Amino acid sequence: MPTSTTDTATIQKVVFDSLETFGAEPTEIKLDATFESLDIDSLDLVELAQIVEDDYGVQLKGEDMENVKTVRQAVDLVMSKLG
Amino acid sequence: MTRSVVITGVGAVTPLGVGARTLHERWTAGVSGIEDGYGRASEFEPKEHLSVKEVRRSDRFTQLALAAAQEALEDAGWDGEKPYDPERTASVIGTGIGGIGTLEREHIVLQQEGAERISPLSIPLLMANAASGVIAMKHDLRGQSFGTVSACAAGAHAIGMAERLIRYGDADVVVTGGSEAAITQQSYAGFCSMKALSTRNDSPETASRPFDLDRDGFVMGEGAGVLVIEELEYARRRGAKILAEIAGYGMSSDAYHISSPSEDGDGPIRVMRATLADAGVAPKDVSYINAHGTSTPAGDRIESLAIKTVFGEHAKKIPVSSTKSAMGHLLGAAGGVETAVCILAVGRDIVPPTINLNKPDPDCDLDFVPNKARPVEVRWALNNSFGFGGTNASILVGKYKD
């Protein structure tokens, strides 16, 4: 559940773990990797949003996700919503 | 000039194991793949055949089809290198129901967690053409891609329509067959409610007993059977190993009842006649029939009647057996798997038995190869597939002779 102590490292781990579940090559998952290079598409990002919403109560809208191209941008987006 | 169609690769994942040749060997040995009342493809472990992403992005029916297609393509000698123009290569896979397992899981999510929690993959996984689409993507097949949907005849319709694509000149090669993964609560309950399934619960491994007097319904199975079929001249030019030829294809509709066969066997009679006519093969030259033979009281009786009507005096001389005795009813996959079996019978000159056939039914008075495989020279082999909705399809395969 959302707490004030949820930090970037925690969110980063959730995002990394999700990407690995989606089939991205684990060694390629880095903050600056693009989703395109990880073969992660818009359907995966919808699922990522659902996972984050379930675990942290963050509401991510479709338009928020549209501009997310890298792993770092996804983590930053979630953090900004948490803040 | 007529374009001829030959088979250069076979693949199957079934309750008898992974691999078309494993299937033929185990069935020929009289082994049953039915456990606890189901014909599950229990030796199939998706991760052994597919990437993490492929597993996550496919329903089980697509996973089974992908594995069978991989085997068929390797069998046809496509080791990464594509011998054909991708735009002349098609993917046609039949299924009775498609991704019903996905549908059921997502419906629970809908009810318990709400519409916003439905997976964005739910539709792409459950749609009935998912298998053909995913095979096309994986192997870069850019010609026609579609599924055929005709219940338990879907696999045979797929192969037949694929053969027509080549004969008509629309494609030079097609990856084609059937796939089904419908052993789920919903479909099991649905078939139970129709009283279509065997209730021989005290002896599940002998519950599927086509043509036996004590048969009382079918056993649900799952799996996939996929072929690589090619235009003859192209196959010869690339030096492909030719396993058999597809000589004929027929289709018919009972136009009678949504789930019961008509007593006069009209649809099955016409589909077999159409197939033989398409091939230009006389009834007396057919050496083996892989019956639809689901183990339902009416279906087996009427198929026997239809075979007697079409083949006349020759009917009792033809070995007829039912794959479903050993692995249950693979529904939309049945036509794919059973055509694969016919191809192997043609190649090996041995016909597998109808197992669990201990008490002959006077109404089913043909040579059903009871319980023991038999060496027979198989020149032409006929596969019958009949489906709910009164739909019928048959495929005739034969030895390829230069």
Average pLDDT of the residues in B252-274: 96
* Separation in Å, CA of B63 to nearest CA in chain A: 15
Measured between CA atoms, how close is B131 to chain A, in angstroms?
18
Range of B168's domain? 7-244
Quickly list H helices, B29-59: 46-49, 52-56
Whether the pLDDT of residue B143 is over 90: the answer is yes
What is the enclosing helix (H) or strand (E) of B338?
helix B334-348
What are the tens digits of pLDDT across the range B16-46?
999 999 999 999 999 999 999 999 999 999 9
Q: Which residue of B has its CA nearest to A46?
A: B120
Residue A3 has pLDDT above 80, yes or no: no
Q: Is B119 strand, coil or helix? A: coil
Measured in degrees and rounded to the nearest 5, phi and psi for residue A70 equal -125, 165
In chain B, whose CA is at the least distance from the CA of A61? B116
Claim to verify: residue B286 and residue B366 sit in the same structural domain: yes
Residue B95 contacts residue B136 (beta carbons within 8 Å): no
Question: What confidence tier does B316 reach under pLDDT thresholds 50, 70, 90?
Answer: very high
Residue ranges in B16-173 assigned as alpha helix (H): 20-28, 46-49, 52-56, 60-75, 100-113, 122-126, 130-139, 154-168
Cβ neighbors of A35 (< 8 A, separation 6 or more) are A41, A44, A45, A68, A69, A70, A71, A74
Determine the average pLDDT of the residues in B351-357. Answer: 97
Asked if the C-beta of A26 comes within 8 angstroms of chain B's C-beta atoms, the answer is no
How sure is the predictor about B228, in pLDDT bands with cuts at 50, 70 and 90?
A: very high
Q: Which of A23, A42, A47 sits opposite B119 (nearest CB)?
A: A47
pLDDT band at A83; cut points 50, 70, 90: confident
Query: Is residue B119 a part of any domain in this protein?
Result: yes
Same domain, B158 and B192: yes
Mean pLDDT for the stretch of residues B181-196: 95
A1 has a pLDDT exceeding 70: no
pLDDT at A2 over 60: no
Question: Cβ(B386)–Cβ(B292) under 8 Å?
Answer: yes
From residue A61, how far is each of A8, A67, B110, B118 by CA, in Å?
20, 11, 19, 15
Check whether B140 has a pLDDT greater than 70. Answer: yes
Chain A contact present for B119, CB below 8 A: yes
Q: Show residues of chain A in contact with B124, CB under 8 Å.
A: 43
For the record, the structure tokens of B310 come out as 């079409």
Q: Verify whether the Cβ–Cβ distance A39 to B53 is below 8 Å.
A: yes
| Of B56, B117, B124, Cβ closest to residue A50 | B117
Reading the block at residue B344, the tokens are 């192997």
SS3 content of chain A, % helix, strand, coil (to 5): 60, 0, 40
Whether B283 shows a pLDDT value over 60: the answer reads yes
Give the pLDDT score at A62. 72
Task: Tell whether B88 and B226 lie within a shared domain.
Answer: yes
Average pLDDT for residues B280-285, to the nearest whole number?
98
Average pLDDT estimate for A31-52: 94
> Would you state the pLDDT for residue B72?
98
Check whether residue B164 and residue B208 sit in a common domain.
Answer: yes
Q: Which of B391, B387, B371 is nearest to B334 (CA)?
A: B387
Q: What's the number of domains chain B is made of?
A: 2
Distance from CA of A15 to the nearest CA of B (A): 16
Closest alpha carbon within chain A to B52: A23
Show residues of chain B in contact with A52, CB under 8 Å: none
Q: What is the pLDDT of residues B361-374, one digit of tens each?
A: 999 999 999 999 99
Per the CB < 8 A criterion, the answer to whether B281 and B398 are in contact is yes
Q: What was the pLDDT predicted at B296? A: 95
Q: Give the mean model confidence (pLDDT) for residues B381-396.
A: 98
In a domain, B2, yes or no: no
For the purposes of burial, counting CB atoms within 10 Å of the CB of B16, is it exposed (0-12), middle (13-18) or buried (19 or more)?
buried
* pLDDT over threshold 80, residue B60: yes
CATH number, domain containing residue B220:
3.40.47.10
Residue tagged 């509401």 (tokens): A59
B117 to A23: CB separation less than 8 angstroms, yes or no: no
Mean pLDDT of chain A: 89
Kindly report, residue by residue over B161-179, the tens digit of the pLDDT. Answer: 999 999 999 999 999 999 9
- Inspect the interface and report whether the beta carbons of B56 and A39 lie closer than 8 Å: no
Q: Are residues B255 and B238 in the same domain?
A: no
Nearest Cα residue to B151 out of B132, B119, B128: B128
Tokens of A8: 């970037």
Residue B1 lies in a domain: no
The residue among B199, B202, B247 whose CA lies nearest residue B401 is B247
> Complex ipTM, two decimals?
0.86
Pick the last residue of a domain from B196, B226, B244: B244
> Among residues B187, B216, B244, which one ends one of the domains?
B244
pLDDT greater at residue B38 or residue A4? B38
Residue type, B188: Y
Task: Specify the DSSP class assigned to residue B241.
Answer: P
Q: Do residues B275 and B322 share a domain?
A: yes
Per the annotation, the verdict on B157 as an active-site residue is no
CA angle B172, B173, B177 (to 5 degrees): 145
Query: What pLDDT score does B1 carry?
Result: 62
The pLDDT of B369-387, averaged and rounded, is 98
pLDDT value for B285: 98
Is B200 found in the same domain as B338?
Answer: no
Are B75 and B175 within 8 A, CB to CB? no
The residues near B166 (Cβ < 8 Å, ≥ 6 apart) are B3, B5, B172, B173, B174, B229, B230, B231
Using an 8 Å CB-CB cutoff, list chain B residues near A43: 120-121, 124
- Write down the pLDDT at residue B7: 98
Catalytic residue among B24, B329, B342, B364: B329
Chain B residue at shortest CA distance from A38: B53
Active site residue B342: no
Average model confidence (pLDDT) across chain B:
96
Token code pair at residue B308:
């007697």
Distance of CA B381 to the CA centre of its chain: 14
Span B72-113, pLDDT tens digits:
999 999 977 789 999 999 999 999 999 999 999 999 999 999
